[in-house]
Structures are given as structure tokens and as C-alpha cells.
């Protein structure tokens, strides 16, 4: 199914959505029509990938996510987005299995009008996120296929949940969300002593959030190093490598436990709470 609009029309739609305080019904209907085209293309791409023996999950971005990304990247982003429609494959295997999967997928979509594009985020991660993305173009519409090892997936799942807790901006290298001003505005009736204590609690909590984000990225680097050892380090000490993997597993469990009692940052803003 071809796109219902030209690239210039999609650009103008994105720019209108960015400028508007509230998107018009007409623009939301046009966006919905665009998403239907992507959904149809994604369905055909899924069928081909399943025929290769993979079991992908899939999604087309929803309106809320698109509006959030437009606000961050600008209206012209809508015409060039490569992951509006996407699927994810989580493999039970190492880097060699990942490379083979990427090769199979690339070959399967070579007959499309535009050749697939490979984005290897293992060597160029984004804030710790690693995977291999294959952008394929059935019907000349981009569909992003994320190919992850199990370890890459576990880390990405943890980091996505951490972003919900301390601020979505950490996925782009931004610091955790600040919410002290909202708390301060809601606490005008506090005594000076109480206000000072609240500030101390906030500062300690914020430093913890920064440390958690940094620890998560460091853990991704360790996972990457260990996956490279598995792929290329034939003469490495097996017991030593297994001990490091056990350490990674423990660190992931510790991060998940730390996150389990936290309130999402959006709810803290609403409630004015100064604790995690």
C-alpha cells in the first residue's frame, strides 16, 4: 500500500501538529490515515519475517508517541521517520546468531525498490542502547526491524522502565527530570526548616537518579564487552567470563529491585512528592 500523501504534505502535517496547542480533527484524521498505510505495510513485512523462522513482536507508533517525538525533533521529522512502523526480534543466541539473522532479513528484502539499510548500534550505542536495526522498504515505506540478543533486550527493557521512573530524556543523554520547582510551588506554606529538609530530600533523590542512569549505561558497556569476548575471544578463560556474566545478572537484578519501589516521575509531579 502506497503512502496517502507526498513527502511535502507529510512535512506540512508534522509542522502543523508541532505548532498547534491542540491538533485539529482534520490533522488527526490525516495522521490516522498515514498510520493505516504503515500498518498495512508492516503486516506484509511481518509475514515475510515469520516465513524466515523468526517470531517478532510489532507495533505502529501511536498518536501520543508521535506527538511527543514531533515536539522533540520538529515537524519535518515526520516525513523521514524510519521507525513509525517496526518489529522486534529477540534471539536466543550470541552475536554470531545476531549477525546471521541480520543477513537473512537483509537478503529477504533485497527485491524491494529500495535496498535495506543496516544500523549497527552495537558499536555506536545511544546512551547504552545496543541492537542491530535493519530498515526495510516494502512498498517504499520504511519498516524498522530491531534485532536483539537476549542480553541486549533485557538491558533495553530495564532502561525503558527506568526512563519512565526518572525521566524519558535519559534516553537522549539528558539528565533525570527536575521536579523541585513543582514541589516548591506546592509547599509555600512550609516553615523554613521544613522547606530546607524537603530540599535535602530532593537533592539526595536526584543524585540517586543520576547514579542509577550512569550505572545502567556502565552495565550496558559491560554486557557489550562480554558479548564481544564470546564472539571473538576464543582463548578467554571460560570460568572468568561466566563469573562476569553472573555479575551482570546480579547487577540487573539490583537495578530492578531499586526501581520496584519508585514512583514514576509524572506521578511525582502531580503529587508533589519529594521522595522516590
Which grid cell is 6?
507526498
pLDDT given for residue 73 in this prediction? 78
pLDDT given for residue 221 in this prediction? 94
pLDDT given for residue 275 in this prediction? 37
DSSP count for the chain of H helices, then E strands: 10, 5
The mean predicted confidence, pLDDT, of the chain is 86
Residue among 108, 142, 153, 163 at smallest CA distance from 3: 142
Q: What Rg value do the Cα atoms of the chain yield, rounded?
A: 22
CA 223 to chain centre: 17
Q: Are strands 57-60 and 132-136 parallel, antiparallel or unpaired?
A: unpaired
The domain limits of the chain are 1-81, 152-271
pLDDT given for residue 136 in this prediction? 96
Contacts of 230 (CB under 8 A, 6+ apart): 94, 95, 241
pLDDT given for residue 161 in this prediction? 94
Cα separation, 229 vs 241, in Å, equals: 8
Q: For 101-117, how does the pLDDT look when each residue is reduced to its tens digit (9 = 90+)? A: 999 999 999 999 899 99
Contacts of 206 (CB under 8 A, 6+ apart): 176, 178, 180
The answer to whether the CB of 36 falls within 8 A of the CB of 46 is no
Q: How many CA atoms lie within 13 A of 114 on its CB side?
A: 12
Return the residue matching grid coordinates 530524556.
169
pLDDT given for residue 246 in this prediction? 92
Query: What is the reported pTM?
Result: 0.85
Contacts of 33 (CB under 8 A, 6+ apart): 4, 5
Cα separation, 104 vs 25, in Å, equals: 42
Give every residue of the chain whose pLDDT is below 70, as ranges.
1, 179-190, 233-236, 266, 268-276
Cα separation, 145 vs 45, in Å, equals: 10
Amino acid at each position: 500500500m502506497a503512502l496517502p500523501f507526498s513527502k511535502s504534505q507529510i512535512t506540512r502535517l508534522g509542522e502543523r501538529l508541532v505548532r498547534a496547542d491542540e491538533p485539529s480533527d482534520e490533522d488527526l484524521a490525516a495522521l490516522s490515515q498515514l498510520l493505516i498505510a504503515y500498518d498495512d505495510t508492516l503486516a506484509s513485512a511481518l509475514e515475510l519475517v515469520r516465513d524466515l523462522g523468526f517470531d517478532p513482536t510489532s507495533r505502529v507508533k501511536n498518536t501520543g508517541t508521535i506527538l511527543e517525538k514531533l515536539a522533540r525533533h520538529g515537524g519535518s521529522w515526520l516525513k523521514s521517520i524510519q521507525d513509525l512502523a517496526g518489529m522486534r526480534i529477540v534471539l536466543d543466541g550470541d552475536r554470531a546468531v545476531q549477525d546471521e539473522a541480520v543477513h537473512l532479513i537483509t537478503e529477504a528484502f533485497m527485491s524491494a525498490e529500495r535496498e535495506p539499510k543496516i544500523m549497527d548500534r552495537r558499536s555506536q550505542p545511544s546512551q547504552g542502547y545496543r541492537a542491530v536495526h535493519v530498515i526495510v522498504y516494502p512498498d517504499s515505506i520504511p519498516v524498522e526491524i530491531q534485532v536483539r540478543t537476549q542480553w541486549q533486550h533485557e538491558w533495553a527493557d530495564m532502561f525503558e522502565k527506568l526512563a519512565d521512573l526518572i525521566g524519558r530524556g535519559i534516553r537522549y543523554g539528558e539528565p533525570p527530570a527536575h521536579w523541585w520547582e513543582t514541589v516548591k510551588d506546592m509547599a509555600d506554606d512550609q516553615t523554613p526548616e521544613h522547606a530546607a529538609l524537603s530540599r535535602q530530600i530532593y537533592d539526595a533523590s536526584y543524585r540517586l537518579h543520576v547514579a542509577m542512569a550512569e550505572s545502567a549505561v556502565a552495565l550496558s558497556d559491560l554486557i557489550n564487552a562480554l558479548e564481544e569476548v564470546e564472539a571473538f575471544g576464543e582463548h578467554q578463560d571460560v570460568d572468568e567470563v561466566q563469573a562476569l556474566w553472573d555479575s551482570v545478572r546480579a547487577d540487573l537484578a539490583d537495578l530492578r529491585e531499586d526501581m520496584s519501589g519508585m514512583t514514576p516521575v509524572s506521578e511525582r509531579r502531580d503529587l508533589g512528592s519529594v521522595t522516590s
